[in-house]
A and B are shown apart, each in its own frame.
Chain A
Amino acid sequence: MAAPPGRARRRWAAWAFLAPVTVYLVVFYAYPLYRNLDLSLRDYTVRSFVEGNAPFAGLDHYRGVVRDPSFGPALWHTTVFTAVSIAFQFAIGLGLAVFFRRHFPLSRTLRALFLVPWLLPLIVSASTWSWMLNSESGVVNSVLQRLGGSPINWLTSPRWALASVTIANIWIGIPFNLVLLHSGLEGIPASIEEAAALDGAGPWQRFWRVTFPMLRPVSAITLLLGLIYTLKVFDIVWIMTRGGPADSSSTLATWSYRLGFGNMLPAFSPGAAVGNLLIVMALMFGLIYIRVQRRQDAP
């Protein structure tokens, strides 16, 4: 009989098992976050970035960013873009999820087809949208004209640019909402609805009073993930309008990119500051979610 393994040895084993995830978290999460904070709190010019002696600037860059004339529009566009995207994605996704709950012939195939926007690389879908909405040769304007309407400058007029990128983003986000809500619906036992039906609840009442409340945890996580995902959407906007014309569809994400990389003279520090503001916003929504969840779990 071998001697039982010592406590110390067991602790070492525990640390060894923890090590990969710790190393992973530090290398890929903690360090980049620290670097981003460092970038935003020091005054990095091209020279000090290379030489590594950037002076400490405190919150100056945050103040500068908030006072910048581009900040107000970018914040407003981010809010509108996120709110409208989420509202439509969720509503359409929920409608489709309920629809696909009835198993009819070809329902699986149709549901799979709805996933296409999710499977396409964003550069492909954004370029396609940008091509469809082109003022001169776009298919959307050509249909409008054939129906007797006048063409709209979807991507090149300040009135429509934000709406156009929002529409494209809604289309891309629907499958995500559909999949999550559909699996949530599948998790609700059919017997509960049957019981409600026996008690005389109509289909409308059954949905609003039984299904929808039972779907609440899944709805909450869908909305939260959608929110975080939409806040930071960058590629669609950048590919379709570059945040233009003249900032009329700029969001915090595109503005941050423009500051850091969109110019020959990179402004790393203000760019990092805007990025950090975005992280804080996402974090706030995460905290709200945790609180709501805790209240739900409490007896």
Chain B
Amino acid sequence: MTHVFAQRIIMFSAITAVAGPIGCSSSKDKANGSATSYAIWDPYPQFDASSGWVQLVNKCGTAAGVTIKRTAFDTSDLTNKALLAAQQHNSPDVLIVDNPVVSTLADGGVLATTDDTKIDVSAVQPNLLAAGQLGGKTYGIPIGANTLALYYNKAVLQAAGVDAASIKDWAALTGALAKITATGKKGITFSAIGTEEGSFQFLPWFWGAGAQLTALDSPQASSALSLWVDWVKSGYAPNSVLNNTQTTSWQEFATGQYGFAENGTWQLGNAKKTGFEYGIIAIPGMAGGTAPAPTGGELVTVPVQQATERYATSVKLVGCLTSTENLYTTDTTLSYVAPTSAVQAKQVAATPELTVWVSAVQAAKGRTSDNLGTKYPKISQPLWTAMQTALSGSKSPGEALAVAQATAAQATK
């Protein structure tokens, strides 16, 4: 009896296994379905159908007379998904993607230019738009920007007798860290991990010293790296920075044991939950002024379609998502700074504490700007390796950066 039963199961599974793949391939599983259904991919998996963001996406679809099929990916996943989709001529109609990835996708011929799509980018701040530009062409429009600044713990600074407003250059900052460390607290925490995140955190200091990504071995670059190395050696910054992501670095700051933390706009929501009073200052340049921090945040792009008649509707969708009114809602939800001065003014009027962030974003610089484009990743990797080598004490900052420059020059040749 059981024997017969087992035979039947095998027979059944044999049939389903053969029929399975055929059944799958016949169903039309394209990202861009019919003429009235448009696909939007975004890196915001934290937002579900009830969120303001998804409601906005659907509202924009209704306004353009189409239905929207929205898919959210983890941001690190989205690049490869977008490349695979392009390979199979299956790209979404609108793709919202992290800004440094735009040049990679544009280089792969995945994205349409604003010349093709006729998207109006005139209102966008030029330094933010630059992340979406490559070889004189524009491939995307920012939906919002974030960048880095220094959060500080008011109580810790007060106990050490440090006035945050007086910190205008590196010397003043290092002096403040020394005073804080003397009180038994830690001076500063940041993320120097061996990934893009580490380079992202290092760039404000690198650029703030006047260094250029095209010359990693310059004396300016070396002084920026020496600043970090000396902080760790003197105990102003914990050794754990070598392994810190921006999230774990924030967790350190949230313990209340740290004076400063280098972190982004996106932590504002968490900052209110720490239970202690905090303030924010812009990252100072070596000799004063505000250091240019790298821009973060996503760009709205339109991937290349074989059916070019779809662009007209895609542009309507992009225009709707990036209209002044909708940008305000979106950037408030995402805790981003808007990319246009009109919306920035509105944000500052509603939330005065955003002022520091708005000026930081205005001073910020795209990582792929200066026409570095796809060279940037090849420079960034040697840079974070040098950072790790120097911070772990294997090499001096100068030696580590000399190796980095040689590697980067070889890779970008």
Cβ 8 A contact of B194, one of A20, A153, A157, A245: A245
Cβ 8 A contact of B21, one of A23, A130, A266: A23
A16 to chain B, nearest CB (A): 6
Q: Once the chains are docked, how many angstroms separate the CA of A209 from the CA of B86?
A: 63
With A17-B14, A20-B14 as given contacts, are A265 and B377 in contact (CB-CB < 8 Å)?
A: yes
Q: Report chain A residues within 8 Å CB of B394.
A: 158, 245-246, 248
A43 to chain B, nearest CB (A): 14
Asked if A24 and B104 make an inter-chain contact with CB atoms under 8 angstroms apart, the answer reads: no
B87 interface residue per 8 A CB criterion:
yes
Asked if A263 and B238 make an inter-chain contact with CB atoms under 8 angstroms apart, the answer reads: no
Asked if A244 and B194 make an inter-chain contact with CB atoms under 8 angstroms apart, the answer reads: yes
With A47-B108, A264-B377 as given contacts, are A247 and B385 in contact (CB-CB < 8 Å)?
A: yes
Stretch of A48-56, A167-175, A177-185, A197-205 with 4 or more beta carbons under 8 angstroms from chain B:
A48-56
B59 interface residue per 8 A CB criterion:
no
With A27-B21, A264-B376 as given contacts, are A47 and B107 in contact (CB-CB < 8 Å)?
A: yes
Q: Report chain B residues within 8 Å CB of A241.
A: 243
Across the interface, name the chain B residue whose C-beta is closest to A247. B385
A126 interface residue per 8 A CB criterion:
no
B176 interface residue per 8 A CB criterion:
no
B141 interface residue per 8 A CB criterion:
no
Interface centre among A23, A50, A153 (most CB of B within 10 A): A50
Asked if A136 and B238 make an inter-chain contact with CB atoms under 8 angstroms apart, the answer reads: yes
Across the interface, name the chain A residue whose C-beta is closest to B373. A265
A143 interface residue per 8 A CB criterion:
no
Per the 8 Å Cβ criterion, residues 133-160 of B in contact with A are none
Q: Report chain B residues within 8 Å CB of A19.
A: 14, 17-18
With A19-B17, A264-B79 as given contacts, are A246 and B239 in contact (CB-CB < 8 Å)?
A: no
Asked if A265 and B374 make an inter-chain contact with CB atoms under 8 angstroms apart, the answer reads: yes
Asked if A50 and B14 make an inter-chain contact with CB atoms under 8 angstroms apart, the answer reads: no
Q: Once the chains are docked, how many angstroms separate the CA of A137 from the CA of B14?
A: 55
Asked if A156 and B104 make an inter-chain contact with CB atoms under 8 angstroms apart, the answer reads: no
Across the interface, name the chain B residue whose C-beta is closest to A134. B240
Asked if A156 and B108 make an inter-chain contact with CB atoms under 8 angstroms apart, the answer reads: no
Cβ 8 A contact of B389, one of A52, A156, A245, A266: A245
Q: Report chain B residues within 8 Å CB of A49.
A: 83, 87, 108
Q: Report chain B residues within 8 Å CB of A246.
A: 194, 385-386, 388-389, 392, 394
Asked if A156 and B83 make an inter-chain contact with CB atoms under 8 angstroms apart, the answer reads: no
Asked if B104 and A136 make an inter-chain contact with CB atoms under 8 angstroms apart, the answer reads: no
Asked if B243 and A155 make an inter-chain contact with CB atoms under 8 angstroms apart, the answer reads: yes
B168 interface residue per 8 A CB criterion:
no
B6 to chain A, nearest CB (A): 13
Q: Report chain B residues within 8 Å CB of A30.
A: none
Asked if A157 and B80 make an inter-chain contact with CB atoms under 8 angstroms apart, the answer reads: no
Q: Report chain A residues within 8 Å CB of B380.
A: 263-264
Query: Interface 1/0s, chain A 109-141, versus B by CB < 8 A?
Result: 000000000000000000000100011110000
Q: Once the chains are docked, how many angstroms separate the CA of A243 from the CA of B392?
A: 14
Q: Report chain A residues within 8 Å CB of B18.
A: 16, 19-20, 23
A77 interface residue per 8 A CB criterion:
no
Asked if B252 and A136 make an inter-chain contact with CB atoms under 8 angstroms apart, the answer reads: yes
Q: Report chain A residues within 8 Å CB of B239.
A: 135-136, 153, 156
Across the interface, name the chain B residue whose C-beta is closest to A151. B239
Asked if B381 and A263 make an inter-chain contact with CB atoms under 8 angstroms apart, the answer reads: yes
With A23-B18, A50-B110, A156-B392 as given contacts, are A266 and B80 in contact (CB-CB < 8 Å)?
A: yes
B100 interface residue per 8 A CB criterion:
yes
B4 to chain A, nearest CB (A): 16
Cβ 8 A contact of A243, one of B108, B194, B389: B194
B302 interface residue per 8 A CB criterion:
no
A242 interface residue per 8 A CB criterion:
yes
Query: Interface 1/0s, chain A 240-266, versus B by CB < 8 A?
Result: 011111111000000000000111111
Query: Interface 1/0s, chain B 235-271, versus A by CB < 8 A?
Result: 0001110110000000010010000000000000000
Q: Report chain A residues within 8 Å CB of B100.
A: 264
Q: Once the chains are docked, how many angstroms separate the CA of A263 from the CA of B101?
A: 10
Q: Once the chains are docked, how many angstroms separate the CA of A261 from the CA of B376?
A: 15
Asked if A265 and B378 make an inter-chain contact with CB atoms under 8 angstroms apart, the answer reads: yes
Asked if A245 and B101 make an inter-chain contact with CB atoms under 8 angstroms apart, the answer reads: no
Cβ 8 A contact of A46, one of B76, B104, B376: B104
Query: Interface 1/0s, chain B 172-197, versus A by CB < 8 A?
Result: 00000000000000100000011110
A250 to chain B, nearest CB (A): 9
Q: Report chain B residues within 8 Å CB of A23.
A: 17-18, 21
Asked if A50 and B109 make an inter-chain contact with CB atoms under 8 angstroms apart, the answer reads: yes
Q: Report chain B residues within 8 Å CB of A136.
A: 186, 238-240, 252
A169 to chain B, nearest CB (A): 17
Q: Once the chains are docked, how many angstroms separate the CA of A155 from the CA of B105?
A: 34
Query: Interface 1/0s, chain B 358-397, versus A by CB < 8 A?
Result: 0000000000000000101110110001101101111000
Cβ 8 A contact of B392, one of A47, A134, A158, A261: A158
Q: Report chain A residues within 8 Å CB of B105.
A: 46
With A19-B18, A46-B104, A49-B108 as given contacts, are A262 and B195 in contact (CB-CB < 8 Å)?
A: yes
B171 interface residue per 8 A CB criterion:
no
B13 interface residue per 8 A CB criterion:
yes
B223 to chain A, nearest CB (A): 20
Q: Once the chains are docked, how many angstroms separate the CA of A244 from the CA of B67?
A: 46
With A156-B392, A242-B194 as given contacts, are A50 and B243 in contact (CB-CB < 8 Å)?
A: no
B10 interface residue per 8 A CB criterion:
yes
A67 to chain B, nearest CB (A): 12
B180 to chain A, nearest CB (A): 15
Asked if A157 and B392 make an inter-chain contact with CB atoms under 8 angstroms apart, the answer reads: yes
Q: Report chain A residues within 8 Å CB of B101.
A: 264
A residues neighboring B (CB under 8 Å): 16-17, 19-20, 23-24, 27, 45-47, 49-52, 130, 134-137, 153, 155-158, 241-248, 261-266
**What are 18 A-B contacts defined by CB distance under 8 Å?**
A19-B14, A19-B18, A20-B17, A46-B374, A51-B87, A130-B243, A136-B239, A136-B252, A137-B252, A137-B255, A153-B239, A157-B393, A242-B195, A245-B194, A245-B388, A261-B80, A264-B101, A264-B104
Closest 10 CB pairs of A and B: A20-B17, A46-B108, A244-B194, A156-B242, A246-B388, A265-B377, A245-B392, A245-B388, A246-B389, A135-B239
